[in-house]
């Protein structure tokens, strides 16, 4: 099978940062599905791993977690899918990636592809949807209000991949007032289009802008990017006894300033459940099923905004370079081999 991989971490501009290779087609065992990959999208995690993680000596590392495709074969323990089913998923960080013609993935983290979307539009959704859904409902527990606070959430980085879907999920499944941040006219227009009630500029202090909205201090803050730049503003803006979640990797995170307001801090990593085979691993199948239902009901939409051609090394380099700018709105997708 054809695949795209690398042998050593390098800048994306390096000639061999990503290369086209041929590998044997893997075999489905246990709970695995063998999926014929039709489309993939590129996330910041692809860029971070490619730049920093070396494969085992003499081996290739295949990136790619978001994927949409068709089940070609199933392992003996599979009960939820069959060959021919159209699926979408985000995979597991400790297994080979989806930048290949065929890919193995555990059925418990797979959902049936939304019927109303083609493969590229579906491939834009899984990783960011899982991240946003888990952050909202498993980490922040937005379904449990914080007494005496504004029933509102501040989403920092509203135009990015995770922010773009978090806005929509919050609007579709909660009664939260959604405040999203964006700093450019085009990204501000994008987050308004996705359903944010209010848009503020994260290049300026956040607390005064929220205060000017006259809705009260938000109970919840979800930071998707550049958290270290906003810690002071988050502490100032969030309501006492509020909840704060983040997904990026600040070099340091000083929790002491949150103490005075008794703020709880939550990390979200959508790979945790498949990485540790947690007892509730199947929740990712269930939430992807819910996302597909919301898409097919017209309540949320794909966040695909850029296409980068077919799945090969040259096009994936372009997609990685685009993600590395940090100025993406929505998601970039590649389709077909």
Residue 102 sits in a domain whose CATH number is: 3.90.180.10
* Same-domain pairing of 120 and 150: no
* Same-domain pairing of 31 and 90: yes
Q: Is the pLDDT of residue 294 over 90?
A: yes
Residue 134 included in any domain: no
Residue 321 included in any domain: yes
Q: Which two tokens stand for residue 139?
A: 């980490």
Residue 229 sits in a domain whose CATH number is: 3.40.50.720
Instruction: State percent of the chain over pLDDT 70.
Output: 100
Domain interval for residue 115:
2-126+280-335
Q: Pairing between strand 150-156 and 218-223?
A: parallel
* Same-domain pairing of 162 and 260: yes
CA dist., res. 263 & res. 278, Å (int): 27
* Same-domain pairing of 237 and 311: no
Residue 139 included in any domain: no
* Same-domain pairing of 255 and 290: no
* Same-domain pairing of 255 and 167: yes
pLDDT tens digits along 212-230: 999 999 999 999 999 999 9
Place 326 in a pLDDT band, splitting at 50, 70 and 90: confident
Select from 219, 237, 267 the last residue of a domain: 267
In 67-222, where does DSSP find H-type helix? 119-123, 126-133, 161-173, 185-194, 206-213
pLDDT tens digits along 180-189: 999 999 999 9
Core vs surface per residue 71-110: b (16+ CB within 10 A) or e: bbbbbeebebbeeebbbbbbbbbebbbbbbbbbbbbbbbb
- Structurally, the chain folds into a number of domains equal to 2
CA dist., res. 67 & res. 158, Å (int): 23
| Global pTM value | 0.96
CA dist., res. 43 & res. 126, Å (int): 11
Q: Is the pLDDT of residue 328 over 90?
A: no
Q: What mean pLDDT do residues 152-172 have?
A: 97
């Amino acid at each position: 099978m054809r695949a795209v991989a690398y042998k050593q971490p390098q800048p994306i501009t390096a000639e061999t940062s990503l290369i086209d290779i041929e590998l044997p087609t893997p075999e489905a065992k246990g709970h695995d599905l063998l999926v014929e990959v039709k489309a993939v999208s590129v996330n910041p995690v692809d860029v971070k791993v490619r730049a920093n993680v070396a494969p085992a000596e003499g081996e290739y590392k295949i990136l790619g977690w978001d994927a949409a495709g068709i089940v070609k074969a199933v392992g003996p323990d599979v009960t939820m899918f069959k060959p021919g089913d159209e699926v979408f998923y985000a995979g597991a960080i400790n297994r080979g990636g989806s930048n290949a013609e065929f890919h193995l993935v555990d059925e418990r983290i797979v959902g049936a592809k939304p019927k109303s979307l083609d493969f590229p539009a579906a491939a834009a959704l899984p990783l960011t949807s899982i991240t946003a859904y888990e952050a909202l409902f498993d980490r922040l527990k937005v379904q449990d209000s914080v007494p005496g606070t504004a029933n509102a959430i501040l989403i920092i980085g509203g135009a990015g991949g995770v922010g773009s879907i978090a806005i929509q999920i919050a609007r579709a499944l909660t009664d939260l007032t959604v405040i999203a941040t964006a700093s450019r006219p085009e990204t501000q227009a994008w987050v308004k289009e996705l359903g944010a009630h209010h848009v503020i500029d994260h290049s300026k202090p956040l607390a005064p802008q929220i205060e000017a909205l006259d809705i009260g201090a938000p109970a919840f803050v979800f930071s998707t990017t550049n958290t270290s730049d906003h810690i002071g503003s988050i502490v100032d803006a969030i309501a006492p006894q509020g909840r704060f979640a983040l997904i990026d990797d600040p070099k340091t995170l000083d929790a002491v300033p949150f103490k005075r307001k008794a703020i709880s801090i939550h990390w979200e990593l959508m790979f945790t459940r498949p990485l540790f085979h947690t007892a509730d691993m199947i929740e990712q199948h269930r939430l992807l099923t819910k996302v597909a239902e919301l898409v097919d009901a017209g309540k949320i939409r794909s966040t695909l905004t850029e296409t980068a051609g077919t799945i090969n090394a040259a096009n994936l380099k372009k997609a990685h370079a685009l993600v590395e700018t940090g100025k993406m709105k929505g998601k970039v997708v590649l389709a077909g081999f």
